[in-house]
Structure 1
Amino acid sequence: MSMVRYLILRTLIFVGCLAATWLLGMRDREEQLLAVVIAAVASLVISAFVLKPFRQQASAALAERVDRRVERRREHTTGVDEDAEDAEIQRPQRRSDDTGSDSDFR
């Protein structure tokens, strides 16, 4: 949720900067690309300072999700490995001379 909030705030800052360039007189077709570039640079600078706490919160939430996912994956694979080892230990050992052939296939 914090990532969505950060994205929305960043988009609003860009739209505000774009509206400011339009209000400053960059309305012609030839000036639209320049207005978008100016708005992008201005919103980058503004959001770097203004949205710092929101960015840190979103980053912490994302890191927490990654840590939980890694821990779940580690628990899942550890359990599978232990089950396979237990099954291998509990399986009776066969010798080739008991079965009458050297092959494991029947």
Structure 2
Amino acid sequence: MAMVRYLILRTLIFVGCLAATWLLGLRDREDQFLAVIIAAVASLAISAVVLKPFRQQASAAIAERVDQRVERKRAASGDELAEDAELDRPEAATKRDGTSDFR
């Protein structure tokens, strides 16, 4: 939800900046591209300052979801990881008589 809120606020800032450029007189067909560029740069600068707390909340929410996903994968594959760890140990490659399969 935090990411959606951040996205909506950022879009509103861009639309506001675009409206401001239109009100400043960049209304003609040939000025529209310039108006969009100015609005994009202005909204980027404004968003970087004004929306910092919202961006941090969104980032924390994403990090929390990633951590939960990793924990679920670890819990689901806990037995497989234990088997892999058993096979990865160096003494697993050595036979009981002390000889190794590797040459």
| TM-score normalised to structure 1 length | 0.75
Sequence identity of aligned pairs in percent?
Answer: 77
Structure-2 separation of matches of 1:81 and 1:40: 48
Structure 1 residue 71 corresponds to structure 2 residue 74: no
**2:45 counterpart residue number:** 45
Q: 2:57 aligned with 1:61, yes or no?
A: no
Q: 1:46: Cα distance to partner?
A: 0.1
Unaligned residue ranges in structure 2 (runs of 5+): 84-103
- CA deviations on 1:35-78 (whole Å, 9 max, x unpaired) are 00000000000000000000000000000000000010011011
The alignment of Structure 1 onto Structure 2 pairs a total of residues equal to: 83
Gap runs ≥5 in structure 1: 84-106
Q: CA RMSD in A?
A: 1.3
Pick the structure with greater CA Rg.
1
Q: Is 2:58 the counterpart of 1:32?
A: no
How many angstroms does 1:3 deviate by? 0.2
- Residue 79 of structure 1 and its aligned partner are, at CA, apart by 3.5
> What SS is found at the alignment partner of 2:37?
helix
Q: Shift of the alpha carbon at 1:5?
A: 0.1
Aligned to 1:13: 13
Q: Deviations over 1:74-100 (max 9, x none)?
A: 1101145569xxxxxxxxxxxxxxxxx
Counterparts of 1:58 and 1:81, CA distance in 2: 32
Question: Which residue identity is paired with 1:13?
Answer: I
Runs of 4+ in 1 over 4 A off after TM superposition: 80-83
Distance between the aligned counterparts of 2:81 and 2:63, measured in 1?
A: 27
